Structure 1
Amino acid sequence: MKERKIIKVVGYIRISTDEEHQPYSLSAQEERIREYVRLRKREGYRIFKIYSDQKSGATLDRPGLQSLISDAEKGLFDVVLIVKMDRLWRNLADQLYLIEQFQKLGIRLEATDEDIDLETPDGITWAQIRGAFNEAERRKISYRTKMGMRKKASLGGWCGGYTPFGYSYDKYAKTLTPNEEEAPLIKEIFYLYVTKKMGAKSIATYLNKKGVRTRGRYPFSTSRIISIITNPIYTGKIRWDGKIYPGTHQAIIDEKTFNEAQTILARRREDPSLRRSNSSNYLLSGLLHCERCRRYMVGVNAHGRNDVYHYYACPGRFKYGECAMQSLPKEKVEKAILSQIKEIFRTDALLKRICKRVKEKMAEKIPKKKAELKNLEKEILKRKSTIQKYLIAFETGKMNAESCNERARELEEEIYLLKEKHIRLQEEISNSETFSFNLEEVKKGH
């Protein structure tokens, strides 16, 4: 008797935090898939693997799905089995793309709870029509959700999303309430800004020195302080879709103080983007260490009345206000260091010892730096994933634009700092691994 061909089947299951009503849990979906395969055992069906995601279907950028696609390209299975089509995709474009990819690879797509026929033109057309209707229905739901949120905001209700620093969300009363620990800090920030006339950077320095941290346990930055003093939520108002409505929650700051803060801000024109490094040629950026906090110093510009001044500054000071290290004039620092280098080049024995010691020290640090590099990559991916979740929450009407932008801005700032560190580490590792020296060549280069 001819042996029946084994048909390798993989299952794909998904639930999403942005779906209010989950018809099936992951375990329930897996159970239905396994039962489907068990009933077709005589046909040669065998479970090869189950892929899963706990992420919105609004994007194909899901770990489980990407792993499934990668294995499909390797020809590891014959059938992809799902409970319903919306477990794989949420929009027609993604549906068409995946169907085409599976067809090219000779992989069948089947569902336990839907009749999917992708082997005939009529079946494919019907699947496309159904996908278009499903997408239209989801858009209607999203639109109704957003309209509901707008109505809720107009009535003074909190529309969800990232709870502002200074408040907690009372899920029973469905409103914001002042946080016992954070609300006094909000009052202190406004007091320092309005009454004491401290700048945003100085306030960040003050809070960081006191050991105060954001909810994410990060130091306060200038931009974080500015986002607080410009948020009308603290006056008992709700900002939604560019409009401000009277809120039902308790104010932390009175209207007069808030307006005074906006006037001061406009007069000072404080803008963190003005503090970014410029395009001047800072030869020692990333090479100089701050003697106080050991951060790498970077080149910055200071605009005077009639000229632009160049400095090397510690990010711990100008970005977070944590470090007391004074900025160093670019020209003086570079001149002093070049003078020391010239002295070294005059003595062969000293130059040899320095080069040898440098090579040894660089080699010793490589394993630790590589481990740190991997950790940085994980932290960057973690924050990118969090931003994606906030964007999906915004797109589906679960989070307002202001809350989404505020939290995404904080995370992007963290990613920027992590990427800076990642680039420096990569360069250090590359330099350490390729470092070599020839005394005559070194002197000739001088």
Structure 2
Amino acid sequence: MSSKVAALYIRVSTEDQTELSPDAQKRLLLDYAQKNDMIVSGDFIFTESVSGRHAQKRPEFQKMIALAKQPSHPIDVILVWKFSRFARNQEESIVYKSMLKKDNVDVISVSEPLIEGPFGSLIERIIEWMDEYYSIRLSGEVLRGMKEKALQKGYQTSPCLGYTAVGHGKPYVINEAEYAIVSYIMDLYDNQNLDETAIARRCNDLGYRTKRGKLFERRSVDRILGNPFYCGTVVWNGVEFEGSHEVRLSRERYEKRQKLITSRKRPVKARNVSACKHWLSGLLKCSVCGATLSYTGNNKCPYFQCWKYAKGFHKTSVALSVKKAEEAVISYFDQILDGAEFTYVCKKKKTDYSLQIEQLQREISKLTMRESRIKEAYEAGVDTLEEYKNNKDRLVSDRLELTAALSQLLQEKQAEQPDTEKILKEIRSVADVLKNPDVGYEEKGNLIRSVVEQIIYDKESGKMSFDIIIS
């Protein structure tokens, strides 16, 4: 009988501290192969340090399975120290073992010998179930330990760009080279009004990379701009606390940026300003069909035109020169600042006070009825004077409490109404930037989008309708 060719699969998990080291596992597997007349090539030894819960996340495991399923049939058996090294998930274990069985490849645990027959298969299923149960229990224990560490204000998340972990739950320290990139990103967004995509492009052009050494993209810039860790707040899995690490970003600047991010949040299908050819691109809409007016033409006579008209969807041209469009927008803002009336929509999600107010008002009405009933009960001789007095005092106390709650809600509802002076201040700052020829179109585009959602142009009347939004 010819010798079988064996592959060794060696896996250690960082979560499990009771398992054998990779070298110890390798030694035991090689001893077993030698005693059972199996051939092991150096190319057929697969080692990795990763959890066994998900096979897709184990590259060496996948490489071994692909090798075993080759038409040339290079291996006959896979040796593991324990079945738990092969998989911690019973479903995946059965799937992969069945897959290998079709190619006549066996999986053998050198420390868990099985007898032939159905009873051996039953024992193997029980072992797999126990392995999965242990993994789930261990995962729960680890999660509880990490949560307790977070509640004790310990640091355990992966450090963000600009910080380096020192271990043992101690506060992270600033990495000066990385933090310079973070500062650059924040400055471009906060002070130069560039959008996230444009910032990512600039970072990549300068050779900057993310914490994992990858190119920057919009979402990686988003994470940096919205990460409260930079202003002192540590967040882990729902647990939040004020950390003791060094902070260079003020809370005021961070909160101001979050409001800015909310105001600049674009609709799902809207393009980034950095991808537009003009600061009005994407804002101008056709009054005929509602489509966007596209920037068209050369540098001598650029204009906007409905893209659906250009494609032949309708017969009405809605052409508008860039110069006239810019003048009309600036003129509209000037009219508002000079006192002209205008309407706006508050973009910030409002609290619905009406239901709460209505509920409180109903409760107060019920109190009036109850007061009448206790009086009738006293007059009818059902309640004594002492009982009537106690009931009346309780209802008076309830009325005072409900009235105070109602008054508080009415005050909050009134306070939520935007301040006109604040709105005009935002519009004035945008108008000043639009008039400045030294400011780039990206900055102008971002700023106007913080107060204008869309501008509908009616070619026939020559008028524009502005949808003003306030965050």
TM-score (norm 1): 0.55
2:53 counterpart of 1:58: yes
2:80 counterpart of 1:82: yes
Deviation readout 1:111-152 (Å, 9 max, x if unpaired)? 2222233x3211111111121122111111111211222222
1:246-285 to 2 correspondences below 5 Å: 246-270=242-266, 274-275=270-271
Distance change (3 Å), C-alpha of 1:305 and 1:22: farther
Query: Where in structure 2 are there 5+ consecutive unaligned residues?
Result: 297-301, 312-471
CA contact (8 A) 2:292 2:306 kept: no
* Aligned residue identity for 2:292: V
Q: Which residue of 2 aligns with 1:421?
A: none
CA contact (8 A) 2:33 2:39 kept: yes
CA contact (8 A) 1:9 1:81 kept: no
1:92-107 to 2 correspondences below 5 Å: 92-107=90-105
* Aligned residue identity for 1:302: G
CA contact (8 A) 1:186 1:252 kept: no
Distance change (3 Å), C-alpha of 1:86 and 1:164: same
Query: Matched residues in 1 for 2:205 and 2:29: separation?
Result: 56
SS of residue matched to 1:130: helix
C-alpha RMSD over aligned residues: 3.9
How big is the shift at 1:270?
4.7
Q: Which residue of 2 aligns with 1:153?
A: 150
Distance change (3 Å), C-alpha of 1:65 and 1:186: closer
1:404-415 to 2 correspondences below 5 Å: none
Deviation readout 1:189-228 (Å, 9 max, x if unpaired)? 4445445555445544665565544345555444333221
SS of residue matched to 1:101: helix
1:354-393 to 2 correspondences below 5 Å: none
Query: Where in structure 1 are there 5+ consecutive unaligned residues?
Result: 278-296, 313-325, 336-446
CA contact (8 A) 1:302 1:309 kept: yes
* Aligned residue identity for 1:54: E
Q: Which moved more, 1:176-185 or 1:301-310?
A: 301-310
Structure number with bigger Rg? 2
How big is the shift at 1:105?
4.0
2:170 counterpart of 1:174: yes
SS of residue matched to 2:153: coil
Q: Which residue of 2 aligns with 1:308?
A: 292
Distance change (3 Å), C-alpha of 1:100 and 1:220: closer
* Aligned residue identity for 1:169: A
Q: Which residue of 2 aligns with 1:435?
A: none
2:160 counterpart of 1:164: yes
Distance change (3 Å), C-alpha of 1:273 and 1:9: farther
How big is the shift at 1:230?
0.9
SS of residue matched to 2:177: coil
How big is the shift at 1:181?
2.1
1:114-193 to 2 correspondences below 5 Å: 114-117=112-115, 119-161=116-158, 163-171=159-167, 174-193=170-189
CA contact (8 A) 1:116 1:123 kept: yes
How big is the shift at 1:8?
0.4
Distance change (3 Å), C-alpha of 1:115 and 1:173: same
SS of residue matched to 1:245: strand
Q: Which moved more, 1:7-16 or 1:267-276?
A: 267-276
How big is the shift at 1:330?
11
How big is the shift at 1:95?
1.9
* Aligned residue identity for 1:182: E
Deviation readout 1:353-382 (Å, 9 max, x if unpaired)? xxxxxxxxxxxxxxxxxxxxxxxxxxxxxx
Deviation readout 1:75-134 (Å, 9 max, x if unpaired)? 4444332211122111111222233334444444322222233x3211111111121122
SS of residue matched to 2:176: coil
Deviation readout 1:280-323 (Å, 9 max, x if unpaired)? xxxxxxxxxxxxxxxxx9xxx834244414479xxxxxxxxxxx
CA contact (8 A) 2:29 2:110 kept: yes
SS of residue matched to 2:53: coil
TM-score (norm 2): 0.52
Deviation readout 1:172-199 (Å, 9 max, x if unpaired)? 6633112212334434544454455554
Q: Which moved more, 1:193-202 or 1:32-41?
A: 193-202
CA contact (8 A) 1:166 1:179 kept: yes
CA contact (8 A) 2:231 2:254 kept: yes
Q: Which moved more, 1:216-225 or 1:121-130?
A: 216-225
How big is the shift at 1:239?
1.6
Q: Which residue of 2 aligns with 1:404?
A: none
Distance change (3 Å), C-alpha of 1:201 and 1:53: same
CA contact (8 A) 1:13 1:29 kept: no
Query: Matched residues in 1 for 2:81 and 2:13: separation?
Result: 18
SS of residue matched to 2:256: helix
Distance change (3 Å), C-alpha of 1:204 and 1:36: closer
Query: Matched residues in 2 for 1:11 and 1:210: separation?
Result: 46
Q: Which residue of 1 aligns with 2:418?
A: none
Match of 2:107 among 103, 109, 121: 109
Sequence identity (%): 22
Distance change (3 Å), C-alpha of 1:310 and 1:184: same
